[in-house]
Amino acid sequence: MKRLRLLVSYLVVVVLLNGCGEQHVLEKLGLAVAVGYDLSKDGKLLGTTVFYQIDPEARELVTVISGTAHTSKGLTVSQNRESSKKIVAGQIRVVVYHDELARRGILSLVENLTRDASIGSNVYLTVAKGRAYDILTHRYPENSNIGIYLYQAIRQNVEGENMISSKLHEYMKDYYAVGKDPVMPYIERVKNELHINQIGLFRDEKLVAEITSREGFFLKILRERYNKGELEINIALDKKRLFTVIEHISSKKQIKVLDLEKPRFSVKVKMAAQIQEMAEKIDLSKPEQLNKVQKAIELAVKKETEHLLEKFRKHDVDPVGFGEIYNIASQKSGKKKLSKDECREIMKRAKFDLDVEIKILRTGVIG
């Protein structure tokens, strides 16, 4: 609660500092912190806004309002008409899209956010399993402001490297990149709790599939550097299966095009980690045992990563950006720049030479 008050105080200060344009009396404002979009039964947009009132006499400081319209701007007009406060969008932290809507395409809605000069690029974009309206209007006993709660939950997971970040500018960058697709965290309400256990995969502007947060780990090590976090993995050691937990993981990757005519990529992933726990005691101070464990972890990581790459091929998505890498290499060789569709055709027949190398930093008896 203390963190919530501090964050709200910060938002108020930001509004005051940014008031160099149209001057507003704070008591007359509603600071929007979260927005949700669904499809209504008649095919219109159903918009839901969570906003904070800077009014000491208000019964409830957090209010949720909804309405329908044909466009997102129409929703703003409609909601301001129904509210006693002028709702300002400058402090929006999270936008939630119903997965049914996302499967139809959300580019126009996302682009409208970028056109609003008052909205920063650090807004988190998310997909909801079920209606955004149901998530944002539900009463959560331990969280009075669902907008701030959702923002903090996403930020915590992103900073802890448990989730791939999908801020507004990151989504737009991936969308407009030729040969790369965007992703978004997938949220779901289970009773009085919000779960973020999946990642939505987009083909251009449309949601087409989802992967687990575990699979998101392997996507992340292919997309970018990994600097912390942990993973439980089932390894094959001395003809038996053994669960192992590795932590303080850092990684870097290198992706190169080996063949342009018959598309082939070299994918090298180097990881360093500590073993936090093993299902039985093993003395890693012995070089032979340490080498066995490292090789077993490398093989397990390689298998799960290869499985994920096949899933990307199955759904015709490229969240890693192999097409973008191929396009750059192709242009360097003197060929024309490829279109998005041409990149997709390349990826359908691409082969991957995957190499995983791991270094265990902590030795001794583990178990």
CATH of the domain at 269: 3.30.300.210
- Same domain flag for 186 and 236: no
- Same domain flag for 51 and 200: yes
Beta-bridge partner residues of 185: 199
- Same domain flag for 256 and 201: no
- Same domain flag for 170 and 265: no
In degrees to the nearest 10, what's the CA dihedral of 302, 161, 101, 174?
-80
Residue 69 burial (C-beta neighbours within 10 Å; 0-12, 13-18, 19+): middle
- Same domain flag for 178 and 267: no
In degrees to the nearest 10, what's the CA dihedral of 273, 279, 284, 288?
-110
- Same domain flag for 239 and 361: yes
Which among 213, 233, 263 is the end of a domain? 213
Longest C-alpha distance within the chain, in Å? 72
Number of independent structural domains in the chain:
2
| In a domain? residue 181 | yes
- Same domain flag for 314 and 356: yes
Which among 160, 181, 213 is the end of a domain? 213
Q: How many CB atoms lie within 10 A of CB 204?
A: 14
- Same domain flag for 196 and 306: no
- Same domain flag for 145 and 286: no
| In a domain? residue 218 | no
pLDDT at 358: 96
pLDDT at 55: 63
Distance from C-alpha of 264 to C-alpha of 280, rounded to nearest angstrom: 40
Which range marks the domain in which residue 311 is found?
225-366
pLDDT at 59: 60
| In a domain? residue 37 | yes
| In a domain? residue 220 | no
- Same domain flag for 130 and 276: no
pLDDT at 129: 96
Which among 213, 246, 267 is the end of a domain? 213
- Same domain flag for 191 and 258: no
How do the pLDDT tens digits run along the chain, 367 residues long? 445 444 444 444 444 445 444 444 656 678 899 999 999 999 999 999 998 877 666 566 788 999 999 999 889 888 878 776 778 888 899 999 999 999 999 999 999 999 999 898 889 999 999 999 999 999 998 888 899 999 999 999 999 888 999 999 999 999 999 999 999 999 999 999 999 999 999 999 999 999 999 999 999 999 998 888 889 999 998 888 999 999 989 999 999 999 999 999 999 999 999 998 888 888 888 899 999 999 999 999 999 999 999 999 999 999 999 999 999 999 999 999 999 999 999 999 999 999 999 999 866 566 5
- Same domain flag for 160 and 282: no
